[in-house]
């Protein structure tokens, strides 16, 4: 009965245009005279208040014109005072830092920074020389090189010829098909940075590769965990505005977040594509239930009002959102951010690393997963197993290694797409399928979607996983999949 009374208070406040913290709703429902307290709260809060908090309720009760008794039946869902002072930290945000103009020098700066960052991860593992000095080396000597993949192709005999480039020039390397490293050669992408070691040919014109090194995640990596039991819901690809948006599934998810079972869930991280967008692909106008992109965001903001008011929300944009398409994508403009301010969310760039209670979560929408799945020959790297593609990005330590492919990359002075520090959790979306795994200690989560199968997906034989909410225990990194369809 108490839970039903609390839910009734929540719905009544939502009807009046207010979000409400579960603790506040419980306080009102548990009072001796809930109707009197509810009206007192509504009369006392200012018009710009978006969420009714326990503080608003207590202030109304303490008002001598309202209070006539000592209401003590108050059991909060969670207390913010129990949380760390700064539970959320964000790094890697390009918002307000973009410098690119599209000039030649911007591209040079981007690739030089990429090389410097990734070469720095490899230098301690390989004795290397630059391309210029290799040209003067003695034939038959043992050498190593760190370079960016400028070209990779199969020879007539099935070997792999890789042209590596560093700031001093380029040098060829041959990977023999009978070596274990041949499998790594097949998965190389243009513009990723690798290291090789081996022996120079007699004429010193090519390296016969014996070992290949990727920046990768160290096998000794041990992830951070929270020092208390607390959970985060990791979702993406809501696609509000699409005719296929699953509104009932979202309503069920929101209702669940108010339930006792969801009490440990204190964070909600959304990895892009909050809305369906407009003009994203040809003929999209036929798939839209809401044709104006700002109206789509206003509708999404209404949906955010349904989740608990004390839930900390972090969100990044995706390729359907109203930001620049080139990555890294800055956070939403002030106009859209104001629309989404109903829940005081932390809005940051794609990608960004978000620290929740000391657990570092790399949040990336995941557009490059299409390219990895198409390029890596391993059959397990597929849309049905997006976590395998995510592992490939960790091996390369870059969320979008290949320039000039399917992904547009902005030529910033700094390459914000390098995975400089190993995250504890890697969270992506975009491909609309669920994937949960672990790679060298890093928890991998691709979070599905909230959109039923579209005509485009049906034509391309893509089967989405809609209505899932992966829930991660930040103290153990265990993941449970909650399904709301």
Q: Over the stretch 215-228, which tens digit does the pLDDT of each residue have?
A: 999 999 999 999 99
Closest by CA position to 453, among listed 233, 235, 237, 234? 237
User: Distance of CA 256 to CAs 8, 133, 192, 252, 472, Å?
Assistant: 15, 63, 43, 6, 15
* Rounded alpha-carbon distances, angstroms, from residue 378 to 39, 168, 462: 62, 33, 18
Cα(29)–Cα(8) distance, integer angstroms: 8
**Nearest C-alpha neighbor of 284 from the set 431, 417, 454:** 454
**What pLDDT score does 135 carry?**
85
Which residues make beta-bridge pairs with 472?
232, 479
pTM of structure = 0.82
State the Cα–Cα distance between residues 323 and 457, nearest whole angstrom. Answer: 24
- For residue 292, the number of C-alpha atoms closer than 13 Å in the C-beta half-sphere is 5
CA 149 distance to own-chain centroid: 26
What percent of the chain stands above pLDDT 90?
66
SS3 call for 160: strand
423-469, pLDDT tens digit by residue?
A: 999 999 999 999 999 999 999 999 999 999 988 888 888 899 999 99
Q: Is the pLDDT of residue 14 over 70?
A: no
- The mean pLDDT of 393-414, rounded to a whole number, is 92
Average pLDDT over residues 249-276: 96
E-state strands within 207-351: 207-213, 231-235, 265-271, 312-316, 346-347
* CA separation for the pair 430, 317 (Å, rounded): 11
The pLDDT of residue 66:
47
């Amino acid at each position: 009965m108490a839970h039903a009374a609390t839910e009734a208070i929540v719905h009544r406040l939502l009807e009046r245009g207010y979000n409400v913290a579960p603790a506040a709703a419980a306080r009102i429902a548990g009072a001796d005279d809930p109707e009197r307290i509810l009206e007192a709260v509504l009369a006392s809060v200012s018009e710009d208040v978006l969420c009714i908090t326990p503080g608003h309720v207590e202030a109304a009760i303490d008002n001598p014109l309202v209070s006539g008794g000592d209401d003590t039946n108050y059991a909060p869902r969670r207390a913010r005072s129990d949380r760390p002072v700064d539970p959320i930290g964000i790094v890697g945000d390009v918002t307000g830092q973009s410098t690119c103009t599209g000039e030649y020098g911007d591209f040079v700066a981007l690739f030089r920074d990429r090389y410097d960052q990734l070469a720095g991860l490899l230098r301690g593992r390989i004795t290397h020389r630059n391309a210029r000095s290799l040209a003067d080396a003695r034939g038959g000597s043992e050498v190593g090189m760190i370079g960016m993949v400028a070209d990779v192709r199969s020879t007539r005999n099935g070997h792999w010829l890789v042209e590596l480039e560093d700031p001093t020039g380029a040098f060829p390397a041959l990977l023999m098909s009978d070596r274990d490293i041949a499998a790594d050669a097949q998965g190389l992408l243009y513009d990723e940075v690798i290291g090789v070691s081996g022996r120079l040919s007699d004429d010193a014109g090519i390296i016969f590769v014996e070992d290949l090194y990727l920046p990768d995640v160290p096998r000794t990596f041990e992830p951070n965990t929270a020092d208390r039991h607390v959970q985060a819901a990791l979702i993406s690809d809501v696609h509000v505005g699409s005719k296929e948006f699953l509104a009932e599934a979202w309503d069920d998810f929101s209702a669940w977040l108010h339930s006792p079972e969801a009490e440990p869930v204190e964070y909600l991280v959304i990895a892009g594509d909050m809305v369906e967008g407009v003009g994203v692909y040809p003929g999209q106008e036929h798939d839209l239930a809401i044709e104006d992109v700002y109206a789509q965001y206003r509708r999404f903001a209404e949906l955010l009002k349904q989740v608990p008011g004390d839930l900390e929300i972090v969100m990044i944009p995706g390729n359907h959102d109203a930001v620049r398409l080139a990555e890294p994508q800055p956070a939403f403009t002030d106009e859209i951010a104001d629309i989404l301010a109903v829940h005081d969310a932390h809005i940051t760039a794609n990608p960004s690393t978000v620290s929740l209670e000391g657990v570092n979560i790399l949040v990336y929408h995941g557009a490059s997963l299409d390219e990895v799945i198409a390029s890596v020959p391993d059959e397990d790297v597929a849309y049905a197993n997006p976590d395998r593609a995510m592992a490939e990005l960790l091996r390369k330590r870059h969320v979008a290694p290949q320039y000039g492919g399917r992904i547009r990359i902005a030529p910033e002075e700094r390459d914000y797409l390098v995975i400089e520090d190993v995250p504890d959790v890697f969270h992506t979306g975009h491909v609309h399928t669920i994937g949960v795994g672990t790679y060298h200690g890093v928890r991998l989560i691709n979070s599905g979607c909230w959109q039923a199968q579209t005509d485009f997906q049906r034509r391309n034989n893509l089967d989405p996983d809609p209505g899932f909410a992966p829930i991660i225990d930040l103290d153990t990194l265990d993941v449970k999949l909650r399904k709301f369809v």
